[in-house]
Structure 1
Amino acid sequence: MNEGKEAGVLAHLLNTMKKQFAVIGLGRFGGSIVKELNDQGMEVLAIDRNEEKVNEFASVATHAVMADTTDENTLRSLGIRNFDHVIVAIGDNIQSSILTTLMLVELKVAHITVKAQNDYHEKVLNKLGAHKVVHPERDMGIRIAHNIVSKNVLDYLELSDEYSIVELIAGRRVHNYSLTELDLRAKYGCNIMAIKREENIDVSPAAEEKINSGDILIVIGADSDITRMEQDLFDDDTE
């Protein structure tokens, strides 16, 4: 699965202002977050038990340390509670992930994001008090499945169990129609957030904006409504 892409998306969302981040676990996911945050000019403390991983990121992160984050005294000595956001990206060791999260919650870290390995792990993390739980393998699997099922879906972001944001390729059925003429909100309950055309992107497009075949529409709505709209207006193969 492309964990690097998921990590890049997460890092971009985290980068709202100049903050201090700590990333615990320097595997593919955690390492990608460290690199992305560093590229965006953030201050990043990279932490792992593996000395080789720490040395690998010594020149990337602001600081890189080898530490056992399941030990409360170790976390205190690192000043972890002073960080604005701590991301627990520990790989296959679920016990270490849970204990580390518990320590961070007890230390009252301002914001804690944790990578879950499976649904049961996610439930435990939520009960412990993690502020956000991410599931990169599952989320990427969902996105890939949508890409495979429909040639019109370029990308897919699940907002909740029922709502999503998708990128749809406009075909001949909607070519040269304005947003007013299509009236997607009234007919399908979906909203066009933006239109990407070649190198340009029009955020909150005007109602009279006409759609061209090949445009990429960024749509938000309920999954059932998006599916119905896609079948009616974007599935040119059924004609």
Structure 2
Amino acid sequence: MFLVSSTTTATTKIPTTRIATQNFEKTSTSPEEMTATSSTSIKTTYTPGDTSCLSTDCSRTLLYAYSNDLSPEAVLNSWRAFENISSWFSWYGSVRFDIENMDMKFHTNKFVVNSTILKDMPNPNQGFKNTSIGSNVFDVIEKFFSSTEAPVCGSTILILLKRYPNETDISRLVSLIRYHHAMLHVMISVLPSGGTQSKTMYRLASKTNGLGAFELDDKFSKNSGTLTGRWIGIHGGGYNMSLDYSYSGSDLQNLQIRIYGPT
């Protein structure tokens, strides 16, 4: 399900202190000012060290991020549902979050990634013990875009969320993802292990051209509702549409576009 929002336009700039220059980019000029649609206006400034993100110049990277609170079966079955997309990416990253020390790893071989994930299964002894503690999934996104090991421009992030974050302000991450021409997809458990903000990651996905769904853990990798475990396959075809719409009033309006596969 795609979510298109009509809202106010704010000029947003990403500070270079939070974005690492990629060795894969050959741009020497400073980026032009970027305009992002956001419900919150933020003001930062570029410095001469910033580098424009040109997604066509870099190999695409897939990051598979999963909560430590999930079962090993949910993590493995979901990853196996995405294994057929290997030809679409040149780099693969994986990370287990909702633990104190995340270890994000990158490979160029999908089979090595399989082994890495198998060796980094959820471990309840390493997780957060209190349900009031929110997920550190925001840190996953920040850490990924600070990486210099793999090209992050034009990347795709797949997140399996069991614990909800406590944060509600997503303006920084929306700008960060858009700046890197990346896409965020998230599967959200309807039975959270902690945290308070159930809609935060769904909103983040919808504002960055991604897909989001609420589902039972064991259904993450199976056909269900408007989103399936193989929804990444939507990239395999071309979709074009033209919409004319109008409304009155100052309230934010959401336009939902549902795309269904064969049934």
Q: TM-score range by the shorter chain?
A: 0.3 to 0.5
Which is richer in strand?
A: 1
* TM-score (normalizing by structure 2): 0.34
TM-score calculated relative to the size of structure 1? 0.36
Q: Return the structure number with greater relative CO, CA threshold 8 A, min gap 6.
A: 2
